[in-house]
Structure 1
Amino acid sequence: MNAYLALARASLARQFRYRGANLAGLITNFFFGVIRVSVMVALYNANPAAAPAGYDLAKAVTYLACAQAIIGWVALWGWWDLVRALKGGEVVADLQRPIDFFGLWAAQDFGRAIAQLFLRAIPIMLAFALVYPLVGPADIGQLLIFILSFALAWFLSFTWRFLFSILGFWVTDGTGFARLAIFSATFFTGFLMPLSLFPDALAGVLRWLPFAGMVATPLDVFSNALRGPEALVAVAVQAFWALALYALAQATFTAGVRRLTTQGG
């Protein structure tokens, strides 16, 4: 356990060294968030009757603000660390360490995620709260469900990224697999807009897939779009997929190590 904590702390400290990049990312996320919220406000004002039942403008705005804030937490794009380690051969050193390979990378990613929570997520939400009327968990029970869902969102996202990255054991460059994971995260997680705004048939399917648990579920819980039994069912779906993807990732890793090839020197 001490080894994992040390890895997480080192990763967190590393994130705080990149002040310029973090500031640029914060400004960029907020800027594009304002654009997205402005479009949503215009759509709601143009046709208020078209809004999904129980999903008013305040919830939609809160959802989009949270979507911008959660980018760093779940690392929807730009996580290439394991892909590069496999391609360059550095992964061989990781395999020699006396700790679990999945746990090693999870600890490092968790440290990165905690740093992004303070460097981007919280500042972005505070900035949006100064400009727009946001909503939050209605009571302590809803807040606790959100915290659990938020944590599961990170684990789901990491396991998904880990799974696609280790497909690099079978090829010399796993970048293509990682880009496929990014594509799915962009369109199927609910990042672009709330799943409630999708056609009912498509939204119904997406809510039962692992993608919704990475973004849509915690955001709907935070904005009170999912409450009570509905919220608990959604979190249970997250937990199921977290376990399923973890098991699949471990099985894939075990098979991949048997045929490990690296390039580089």
Structure 2
Amino acid sequence: MEVALNDFLSIPAVNAGLYLALARLGFRRQFAYLQAALWGLVTNLFFGLLRISILLALFDGRPQVAGLTGGDAVTYVALTQTFIASFSLFGWSEFMRTIHRGEVATDLLRPLDLLASWAAQDAGRAAGQFVLRGLPMLVLFALLWGARMPALPPETLLSVVPAWACGFAYRFLVNCAAFWSPDAVGIGRFAWVLLGLGCGFLMPLRLFPDWLRAALAWTPFPSMLNTTVELWLGLKTGAAAWGALGVQMGWTVALLGLCAWVLRRGLGRLEVAGG
């Protein structure tokens, strides 16, 4: 695992410009369909209103539930709706399709590390989606329903990058199932449900039973969204906040190393056009 991670981290500096170009391409591609982005924003706002209504009904006049206030619940919905597209919380199967179609063989001919090139493209895509849908969503939730700005801006901002990176590594691992299974899409459907539950998108993790929260704490899922949300809400402060950031970084490094190892194994058995 350590060797695989070192391979990923030792990308030649001369290729840095190529990865930046891929990131820019991924960013610009999101602006090709502005009307789709607009309707996506409208859809997210509609479902955000429904989720706010459901969560606030849980309070039933109580000032707090599991340490969350009504304002926290509104801001939680705003954040989770904001990051749906940027973090691909409903799934991502682009790499899977290149494997099934054999297009990955062409990718291997390019003078780029395969994992790093996909990470660069996804980083650009995530940034583009945040600009197009994320920022307007935050502003609208703040104006319409009083969503709050981050309680810990520096720590929250720092947590967004490993949250995306950790989520990308998980999605890439799921896509690598296509090397071994012709039904990787089915595996993906299960994996995306698991992601939505474990990262705190479907429901705040603080509302889960203690035993389930304790179990999830041993997984990378909370690092993919929940940590950012709790830092934004100020539910983790001081040493706890920096500890949470450390956990995020640890899971990111571990998952990227696992990605590099699994990718190497998958490419070792890849057959394109029978050879």
Interval containing the TM-score (normalised by the shorter chain): over 0.9
Q: Per-residue deviation at 1:176?
A: 2.1
Question: In structure 2, the residue corresponding to 1:124 is in which secondary structure?
Answer: helix
Specify every segment of 5 or more residues in structure 2 that has no aligned partner in the other structure, as ranges. 1-15
Matched, 1:31 2:54: no
C-alpha contact 2:85 2:130 (8 A) present in aligned 1: yes
Going from structure 1 to structure 2, the CA distance change for 1:125 and 1:49 (only over 3 Å counts) comes to closer
TM-score of the two chains, using structure 2 as the length reference: 0.90
Matched, 1:69 2:69: no
Show the counterpart of 2:35.
Answer: 20
Match of 1:170 among 171, 174, 180: 180
Instruction: Show CA shifts across 1:81-120 (max 9, x none).
Output: 1011111111111111111110110011111001001111
Matches within 5 A, 1:116-265: 116-138=129-151, 142-262=152-272
CA RMSD, 1 decimal: 1.6
Which AA in structure 2 matches 1:92? A
Moved more, 201-210 or 183-192: 201-210
Q: Per-residue deviation at 1:28?
A: 0.7
Match of 1:60 among 64, 73, 76: 73
Distance between the aligned counterparts of 2:48 and 2:224, measured in 1? 18
Show the counterpart of 2:126.
Answer: 113
Distance between the aligned counterparts of 1:92 and 1:47, measured in 2? 59
Show the counterpart of 2:4.
Answer: none
Going from structure 1 to structure 2, the CA distance change for 1:74 and 1:66 (only over 3 Å counts) comes to same
Identity of aligned residues (%): 40
Question: In structure 2, the residue corresponding to 1:191 is in which secondary structure?
Answer: coil
Match of 1:40 among 26, 38, 55: 55
Instruction: Show CA shifts across 1:152-197 (max 9, x none).
Output: 1100110001111112111234212222221111111100121111
Question: In structure 1, the residue corresponding to 2:165 is in which secondary structure?
Answer: helix
Question: In structure 2, the residue corresponding to 1:48 is in which secondary structure?
Answer: coil
Question: In structure 2, the residue corresponding to 1:137 is in which secondary structure?
Answer: coil
Q: Per-residue deviation at 1:248?
A: 0.8
C-alpha contact 1:86 1:168 (8 A) present in aligned 2: yes
C-alpha contact 1:59 1:224 (8 A) present in aligned 2: no
C-alpha contact 2:95 2:172 (8 A) present in aligned 1: yes
Distance between the aligned counterparts of 1:183 and 1:192, measured in 2? 9
C-alpha contact 1:169 1:260 (8 A) present in aligned 2: yes
Distance between the aligned counterparts of 1:135 and 1:262, measured in 2? 51
Distance between the aligned counterparts of 2:87 and 2:119, measured in 1? 12
Distance between the aligned counterparts of 1:23 and 1:143, measured in 2? 27
Moved more, 254-263 or 219-228: 254-263
Q: Per-residue deviation at 1:229?
A: 1.6
Q: Per-residue deviation at 1:263?
A: 6.5
Instruction: Show CA shifts across 1:54-105 (max 9, x none).
Output: x211112111110000111111124121011111111111111111110110
Moved more, 2-11 or 231-240: 231-240
Distance between the aligned counterparts of 2:245 and 2:271, measured in 1? 39
Question: In structure 2, the residue corresponding to 1:236 is in which secondary structure?
Answer: helix
C-alpha contact 2:199 2:222 (8 A) present in aligned 1: yes
Q: Per-residue deviation at 1:47?
A: 4.9
Count of residues in Structure 1 that have an aligned counterpart in Structure 2 = 259
Question: In structure 2, the residue corresponding to 1:190 is in which secondary structure?
Answer: coil
Distance between the aligned counterparts of 2:82 and 2:23, measured in 1? 21
Distance between the aligned counterparts of 2:265 and 2:107, measured in 1? 17
Which AA in structure 2 matches 1:6? A
Going from structure 1 to structure 2, the CA distance change for 1:220 and 1:263 (only over 3 Å counts) comes to farther
Matched, 1:97 2:110: yes
Instruction: Show CA shifts across 1:221-254 (max 9, x none).
Output: 1111221122222111111111111111111011
